[in-house]
Amino acid sequence: MSIDKTIFIFLFALLTLMVKEDAAIYVFSIALWIFIARQKRWTGFAIAVIAVVYFFIANAVVAWLGEGVMMWRLGTYIPGGQGGFIDVIKTVFFNFGFLVSQVFTHDGDKKIIFILWVFGPLLFTPFLTGKKSELVLLIPMLVINVMLDWSYQYNIDYQYTFGSVALAFVIALFSIVRMNLQIQRTVMLTCLSVALLFTISLNIGKIQRNHNYFFNNIERFRAASTVLEAIEPEASVTTSTFIAPHLYKHTVVYDSHYFHIYTPQSDGQLIDGLYPLTDYLVIDPNARNAEEIIETYKKAGYTLEATGGFIEVYKKTLDI
């Protein structure tokens, strides 16, 4: 490995870490691969240390700025429900049987289906690799996807699978390049065919449903767009996840899902307040928790400004 390539390895490791706090898990597993499979000891060790240090710093920053990382998703692995990542690591290393049982006990059938979705189009070639040390690249899939109880983590439809699936592809390529040319061609063509079938079966129904829903409700969508376009671009807005993309012209947009802040008091009780007090609240009144959110904002001095389609717009008119 030349010095130039080493520099780029560190550069892209740092860029990856900057994406999100749990990106350190991907970088750490790649560092292990460099250390064990490629036997570049110092490079792998250095990147692993950087990933671990970044991980704890990033989590401290997230905790300082807000409510911290979502440890409740790993609550099963924390004795007594109180603790952090160190407690999770202890549980995994010192009670491996418990880890295996938890992986396949909670939504075990869905996790098996997820594994089939990932490795089926790859013909399970990642597990045929001649170097078993390359399987360390599957650590993120274990930690980020199948270990957790949050159903979206092991659902192929969601973004939580992107990084771990990419690493599964890498191991598959490592395995395929070691085959002879004729087998390579057969495996690649079969992988492409199975991937195409999986893609069609996964998406064709959704495409049809979305197409029908849109054209059956096109007037409601147009009315909603008209209401959104009437909000001045310089105004700050609190809205729901699915409406937010349509407010791309606005510089300040908050997610209504996080509209509460919780301040612990000396008596152990939690007092909820409203955050933030933006110029507008834009919401679908039929969405989850919409009634509670609307009532809370009304108490904070917001009144109904406009409606259109499935959208209601509330404007802050009183200082309370």
Domain final residue, candidates 150, 178, 194 = 194
The DSSP code sequence of 32-84 is HHHHHTS--HHHHHHHHHHHHHHHHHHHHHHHHHSS-S-GGGGGGGSGGG---
Give the contacts of 96 (CB within 8 A, at least 6 positions apart).
none
Same domain, residue pair 285 and 157: no
Can you say how many angstroms the Cα of residue 70 is from the centroid of all Cα atoms in its chain?
Answer: 11
Q: Is residue 204 a part of any domain in this protein?
A: no
**Which strands form 280-283's sheet, in the order they lie side by side?**
253-255, 237-239, 280-283, 311-316, 302-308
Same domain flag for 41 and 158: yes
Residue 25 CB contacts under 8 Å (≥ 6 apart), including other chains: 51, 55, 139, 140, 143, 144
Does residue 212 carry a pLDDT above 50?
yes
Residue 279: domain span: 220-316
Q: Confirm whether 203 is domain-assigned.
A: no
Regarding whether 85 and 11 lie in a shared domain, the answer is yes
Domain final position from 176, 194, 212: 194
32 & 173 share domain: yes
Q: How confident is the model over 100-154, as pLDDT tens digits?
A: 767 777 777 888 999 999 999 999 999 988 888 999 999 889 888 888 777 888 8
Decide which of 158, 176, 194 is a domain's last residue.
194
In tens, the pLDDT along 8-56 reads: 999 999 999 998 888 888 999 999 999 999 889 999 999 999 999 998 8
Is residue 162 located within the same domain as residue 15?
A: yes
Within a domain: 202: no
CB atoms within 10 A of CB 309: 18
In this predicted structure, which of 68-72, 160-164, 263-267, 316-320 has the lowest mean pLDDT? 263-267
CB atoms within 10 A of CB 55: 20
Tokens of 309: 């389609």
Residues 244 and 176 in one domain: no
Find out whether the peptide bond into 276 is cis, omega within 30 degrees of 0: yes
* 208 in any annotated domain: no
For 246-272, what is each residue's pLDDT tens digit? 999 999 998 887 655 444 444 444 345
Q: Structurally, how many domains does the chain consist of?
A: 2
Q: How far apart are the first and last CA of the chain?
A: 64
Question: 257 and 175 in one domain?
Answer: no
The answer to whether position 75 is within a domain reads yes
Closest among 93, 92, 201 to 146, alpha carbons compared:
92
Residue 199 lies in a domain: no
pTM: 0.74
Same domain as 54, residue 182:
yes
Same-domain check for residues 86 and 233: no
CB 115 within 8 A of CB 147: no
Say yes or no: 59 and 179 in one domain.
yes
Does 201 map to a domain?
Answer: no
Q: Considering the domain boundaries, does residue 205 fall inside one?
A: no
Task: Note whether 168 and 141 are within 8 A (CB).
Answer: yes
Residues 153 and 232 in one domain: no
130 and 271 housed in the same domain: no
